[in-house]
Amino acid sequence: MTSIHAAVIDLKRLELLAESDSAIHVIDARAKVLVTLVFIVAVVSHNRYELARLLPFFIFPAVMIALAGLPTLYLARKIALISIFVLMVGLFNPVFDRTILYQVGQWGISGGWISLFSLLIRSMLTVGAAFILVGTTGFTAVCQALERLGIPQLFAIQLLFLHRYIFVLADEAGRSSRARELRSCGKKGLGVASFGSLVGHLLLRTWQRAERIHTAMLARGFVGQFHAHRKSRFGMAEIYFLLGWSTLFILLRAFDITETLVASMAGVLP
């Protein structure tokens, strides 16, 4: 029960980070969404055996975190948690792909290991960019920006409700878990047999609470429109932000900056 509530509070912290007033926070959400999309496309479009060419892309999350004042360790823990699942997905790459791509002394590095590390780096970059976007914008503002960029309003509203429903589900899960523990004297009834009933009641309770929340929203005049806390407009700062980062991502994708830098250093050093 304590872990569930701690997870909810930890998840809400990401939304609270969006209330700051840094130079990144005040930028229009549409510009940040577009930049994030270009960044993700540039990263995932790399070959599965690319490693060195992905490293320069870390400049984007590093600069964004520094300018926005986001807690680095908090984001690192979130990214590490997602990376565990990514690692499980690519865990069998070295087993099925044994083609030797690099030879380091007597050791041969297969394509499976290269693709595994490439998958981890790409997941760290893309997931980190998504966390930074929410941490500097807020999920509601992100959904509003998607709608203003042409995404169907129904899809944007459903995406927002899905995000809100996670908190409703976690809150009800905490209450159900606490009630289960209080009714289980001597730890009786905490086994697997009661888990199915707990999940069933949890879904019913969250469904009923979601209906009550929706009724309350309709009673307060909800008509399917967003109401963002921060009013913004797409001005020159947003244009510079979008063009600057997008140009950098395109250049990093088109040219091997890492190889160029290594070759330049090799030519300078004796």
Query: Can you give the pLDDT of all 270 residues of the chain as single tens digits?
Result: 445 556 666 667 787 888 888 889 889 999 999 999 999 999 999 888 888 889 999 999 999 999 999 999 989 988 888 888 888 888 888 888 777 777 777 787 887 888 889 999 999 999 999 999 999 998 888 888 888 888 888 888 888 878 777 777 777 777 777 777 776 665 655 656 666 677 777 777 777 877 887 788 788 777 766 665 556 678 898 999 999 999 999 999 988 887 777 666 665 545
Q: Go through the chain and tell me how many residues it has.
A: 270
Q: Which helix (H) or strand (E) holds 96?
A: helix 93-96
Interatomic CA distance for residues 57 and 85, integer angstroms:
22
This prediction's pTM: 0.80
Interatomic CA distance for residues 145 and 220, integer angstroms:
23
Interatomic CA distance for residues 170 and 154, integer angstroms:
24
